[in-house]
Structure 1
Amino acid sequence: MKWINYHHLIYFREIARQGSISKASEVLKVGQPALSTQLKNLEEYLGVQLFERKRRKMVLTGPGKVVLEYASKINSLGQELIELIDDKVFTNEIHLSIGALDSIPKHLICDIVDLAHRKTGCFLSIYEGSPDELLRQLKTHQIEVMISDQEINKLERHNIFSKKILTKQISVYASAEYEHLKKGFPKSLDGAPCIVPTSHSKIRSDVEYFMHEKGVRPKIIAETQDTSLQRILATRGDGLIFLPSFITKDLVNDKKLVKIGNLKGVTTSYYLIYSKRIIENPALDFILKQNFERMRLR
Structure 2
Amino acid sequence: MEWLNYHHLHYFWMVAKEGSLRKAAEKLHVSQPSISAQLRALETALGEPLFRRSGRTKALTDAGQIAFSYAEEIFSLGRELLNTLSQHPTAKALRFSVGVTDSVPKLVAHEILRPVFAMPHSVHVICREGKVEDLLAQLAAHRLDIVLSDEPASSSVKVKVFNHPLGESGVTFCARPPLAARLRKGFPRSLHDAPAFVPTENTALRRSLENWFRANRIRPRVMGEFEDVALMKAMVAEEDVFMAVPSVIVREVVTRYGLAVIGASNNCKAQFFAIAAERRIAHPAVQLITSKAQSLLSS
Shift of 1:229: 1.8
Could you tell me which amino acid in structure 2 is paired with residue 173 of structure 1?
Answer: C
**Equivalent runs, 1:199-214 vs 2, <5 Å:** 199-214=201-216
- The alignment covers a number of residue pairs equal to 226
In structure 2, what is the Cα distance between the partners aligned to 1:256 and 1:84?
A: 40
Partner residue, 2:94: 94
The alignment's TM-score, normalised by the length of structure 2, stands at 0.64
Tell me the secondary structure at the aligned position of residue 153 of structure 1: coil
- CA offset digits 1:46-80 (Å, max 9, x no partner): xxxxxxxxxxxxxxxxxxxxxxxxxxxxxxxxxxx
Q: 2:263 aligns with which of 256, 261, 264?
A: 261
Partner residue, 1:155: 156
Q: Is the 8 A contact 1:210 1:263 kept in 2?
A: no
Q: Is the 8 A contact 2:234 2:257 kept in 1?
A: no
Given the alignment of the two structures, is residue 121 of structure 1 paired with residue 133 of structure 2, yes or no?
A: no
Could you tell me which amino acid in structure 2 is paired with residue 164 of structure 1?
Answer: P
**Equivalent runs, 1:9-28 vs 2, <5 Å:** none
Shift of 1:205: 1.8
In structure 2, what is the Cα distance between the partners aligned to 1:191 and 1:95?
A: 49
- CA offset digits 1:232-280 (Å, max 9, x no partner): 1222234111111232213435792122122351101111111139995
Q: Is the 8 A contact 1:111 1:297 kept in 2?
A: no
Partner residue, 2:5: none
Tell me the secondary structure at the aligned position of residue 295 of structure 1: helix
Given the alignment of the two structures, is residue 225 of structure 1 paired with residue 265 of structure 2, yes or no?
A: no
- CA offset digits 1:170-220 (Å, max 9, x no partner): 121111121211112222112211110110112212212222233322111
In structure 2, what is the Cα distance between the partners aligned to 1:279 and 1:296?
A: 20
Tell me the secondary structure at the aligned position of residue 237 of structure 1: coil
Partner residue, 1:285: 287
Shift of 1:157: 8.0
Tell me the secondary structure at the aligned position of residue 291 of structure 1: helix
- CA offset digits 1:140-177 (Å, max 9, x no partner): 11111110001111233864222111200012111112
Given the alignment of the two structures, is residue 240 of structure 1 paired with residue 242 of structure 2, yes or no?
A: yes
Tell me the secondary structure at the aligned position of residue 156 of structure 2: helix
In structure 1, what is the Cα distance between the partners aligned to 2:122 and 2:260?
A: 38
- CA offset digits 1:104-154 (Å, max 9, x no partner): 121222233332132042111110000101001100111111100011112
Could you tell me which amino acid in structure 2 is paired with residue 98 of structure 1?
Answer: V
- Using a 3 Å threshold, how does the CA distance of structure 1 residues 277 and 228 change in structure 2: closer, same or farther? same
Partner residue, 2:139: 138
Identity %: 24
Shift of 1:225: 2.9
The alignment's TM-score, normalised by the length of structure 1, stands at 0.64
Q: Is the 8 A contact 1:171 1:242 kept in 2?
A: yes
Partner residue, 2:165: 164
- Using a 3 Å threshold, how does the CA distance of structure 1 residues 276 and 228 change in structure 2: closer, same or farther? same
In structure 2, what is the Cα distance between the partners aligned to 1:29 and 1:261?
A: 61
- Using a 3 Å threshold, how does the CA distance of structure 1 residues 116 and 188 change in structure 2: closer, same or farther? same
Tell me the secondary structure at the aligned position of residue 99 of structure 2: strand
In structure 2, what is the Cα distance between the partners aligned to 1:292 and 1:278?
A: 17
- Using a 3 Å threshold, how does the CA distance of structure 1 residues 83 and 136 change in structure 2: closer, same or farther? farther
In structure 2, what is the Cα distance between the partners aligned to 1:278 and 1:294?
A: 20
Could you tell me which amino acid in structure 2 is paired with residue 149 of structure 1?
Answer: D
Shift of 1:29: 6.6
Partner residue, 2:33: none
Q: Is the 8 A contact 2:168 2:297 kept in 1?
A: no
Q: Which ranges of 4 or more aligned residues in structure 1 deviate by more than 6 Å? A: 82-87
**Equivalent runs, 1:21-40 vs 2, <5 Å:** none
List alignment gaps of at least 5 residues for structure 1: 6-27, 31-81
Q: Which moved more, 1:253-262 or 1:135-144?
A: 253-262
In structure 1, what is the Cα distance between the partners aligned to 2:292 and 2:236?
A: 31
Could you tell me which amino acid in structure 1 is paired with residue 145 of structure 2?
Answer: E
